[in-house]
Amino acid sequence: MINEELELQKFEQKIANGEKIEPKDWMPEKYRKQLIRMIAQHAHSEIVGMLPEGNWITRAPSLRRKMVLLAKVQDEGGHGLYLYSAAETLGADRKDLIEALLNGKMKYSNIFNYPTLSWADIGIIGWLVDGAAIVNQTMLAKCSYGPYSRAMIRICKEENFHKRQGYENVSVLAQGNAKQKQMVQDALNRWWWQTLMMFGPHDENSTNTVDLMRWKIKLETNDSLRQRFINLTIPQAYAIGLTIPDNDLKYNEKTQNWEIGKINFDELYNVINGNGPCNRIRIAERKKSYEEGNWVRIAAENYALKNKNNYGTK
Ligand code: FAQ
């Protein structure tokens, strides 16, 4: 019989020593549940996140831009697959997770519920959205759960490429003609605050951070990661002549932080509760592709079954 108290002590000692927890190790149910919630929401974000950029593949302004965008969107799909696999190592069923996304029971990142109105939005997503994801995921690459932390290492490498192509795209537009400059500034104005919301509510309103930090799933709080992203990104905007849409923005010499105005968290809650500008379109698109892909799943299941039956006869 398992001695729960002893197992908990051993588990906490491992976490304190900086060791990884692996799928077959004993873990508290709450640790398992928190990980499944976070990893699955992350996986959902990756596959819903393919949609806003995917909209522009046929409209990319050159063959080079089209190839880069195709590769990026495909990478995001791959990230979703690694992450669903990581959730499966915790005993979750991929089918249940996807159904929870499609019937609105599980969340995905707020940021993918906004429309991509111009080509500049594609550069801005690479620069800001992937940039924010890297700041968050570099921390998650050091988290206590082995499969999640290892998935993050590869994902961060790819996200770095995504960010660079986004910043390069934005820089070219920012150095272009007046219309191009206006297009990219307009895109920055529409995505800035929403990207800051990706890091979640302020620490005092974050319901999960205490548990997540105790178990080293998160190593830093929402506000500390958001501040790092802000400090990294503002000089990048100024370097290419863009302005940040925040009248209260100021640099604090003492703390060496950029201080920002007030984030409208009502908007975040509204969007993550299903009422953003594109939530319904995004879920309808995911449902359609899930239904259209059903025959592939059936074929793959039958193939696996057939191979399982043959196993041992060879
Ligand atoms: N969006 O207690 P906290 C990407 C929810 S990947 C939606 O602070 P936590 C790559 C939160 O779930 C982007 N919901 O929560 C890419 C919780 O509700 P629940 C995704 C949000 O977990 C680029 C409630 O609010 N990355 O972009 C958000 O400690 C381009 C209270 O919040 C990840 O998922 C939000 N922004 O911190 C792909 C990384 N913020 O679940 C394609 C892993 C908060 O209790 C194209 N996740 N909520 O009902 C995390 O690091 C964390 O889960 C946070 C939230 C930071 C998102």
Mean of per-residue pLDDT scores for the chain? 96
Does the structure show a pLDDT above 60 at 196? yes
Q: To the nearest whole percent, how much of the chain has pLDDT over 90?
A: 96
Query: Per-residue pLDDT averaged across 41-58, rounded?
Result: 98
Does the structure show a pLDDT above 90 at 310? no
Triad 35, 41, 44: Cα angle to 5°:
135
Query: Per-residue pLDDT averaged across 143-154, rounded?
Result: 97
Does the structure show a pLDDT above 90 at 136? yes
Q: What is the pLDDT of residue 308?
A: 80
The per-residue pLDDT for range 288-304, each reduced to its tens digit, is 999 999 999 999 999 99
Task: Indicate whether residue 226 lines ligand 1 (CB < 6 A).
Answer: no
Q: What is the pLDDT of residue 307?
A: 87
Sign of the CA dihedral 64, 65, 68, 70?
negative
Task: Indicate whether residue 151 lines ligand 1 (CB < 6 A).
Answer: no
CA–centroid distance, 197 to ligand 1, in Å, is 9
Task: Indicate whether residue 114 lines ligand 1 (CB < 6 A).
Answer: no
Cα 263 to the center of its chain, rounded Å = 20
The per-residue pLDDT for range 2-43, each reduced to its tens digit, is 788 999 999 999 999 999 999 999 999 999 999 999 999 999
Residue with tokens 């039956």: 309
Task: Indicate whether residue 207 lines ligand 1 (CB < 6 A).
Answer: yes
Does the structure show a pLDDT above 60 at 192? yes
Triad 60, 161, 87: Cα angle to 5°:
105
Q: Are 198 and 132 in contact (CB under 8 A)?
A: yes
CA–centroid distance, 121 to ligand 1, in Å, is 21
**Taking each helix axis from N to C terminus, what angle separates 94-102 and 279-292, rounded to the nearest 10 degrees?**
140
Name the residue type at position 51.
L
The per-residue pLDDT for range 58-95, each reduced to its tens digit, is 999 999 999 999 999 999 999 999 999 999 999 999 99
The per-residue pLDDT for range 231-241, each reduced to its tens digit, is 999 999 999 99
Q: What is the pLDDT of residue 15?
A: 96
Does the structure show a pLDDT above 70 at 230? yes
Cα 245 to the center of its chain, rounded Å = 23
Task: Indicate whether residue 201 lines ligand 1 (CB < 6 A).
Answer: yes
Does the structure show a pLDDT above 80 at 118? yes
Task: Indicate whether residue 130 lines ligand 1 (CB < 6 A).
Answer: yes
Best residue for ligand 1 mutational test, from 56, 130, 136 (most atoms within 8 Å of Cβ)? 136
Triad 226, 232, 238: Cα angle to 5°:
120
β-sheet bridge partners, residue 251: 258
Task: Indicate whether residue 198 lines ligand 1 (CB < 6 A).
Answer: yes
Residue 251's contacts (CB-CB under 8 Å, 6 or more residues apart) are 257, 258, 259
Does the structure show a pLDDT above 80 at 109? yes
Q: Where are the domains of the chain?
A: 13-313
CA–CA distance, 224 with 218 (Å, rounded to integer): 11
Task: Indicate whether residue 133 lines ligand 1 (CB < 6 A).
Answer: yes
Q: Are 101 and 91 in contact (CB under 8 A)?
A: no
Task: Indicate whether residue 200 lines ligand 1 (CB < 6 A).
Answer: yes
User: Would you state the CATH architecture of domain 13-313?
Assistant: Up-down Bundle (1.20)
Residue 186's SS3 state is helix
Task: Indicate whether residue 222 lines ligand 1 (CB < 6 A).
Answer: yes
In terms of Cβ atoms closer than 10 Å to its own Cβ (0-12, 13-18, 19+), residue 304 is exposed
CA–centroid distance, 199 to ligand 1, in Å, is 7
CA–CA distance, 47 with 289 (Å, rounded to integer): 11
Q: What is the pLDDT of residue 2?
A: 77
Q: What is the pLDDT of residue 277?
A: 98
Residue 312 pLDDT grade (very low, low, confident, very high; cuts 50, 70, 90) = low
CA–centroid distance, 63 to ligand 1, in Å, is 34
CA–CA distance, 270 with 252 (Å, rounded to integer): 32
Does the structure show a pLDDT above 80 at 130? yes
Which parts of 89-108 fold into alpha helices (H)?
94-102
Q: What is the pLDDT of residue 147?
A: 97
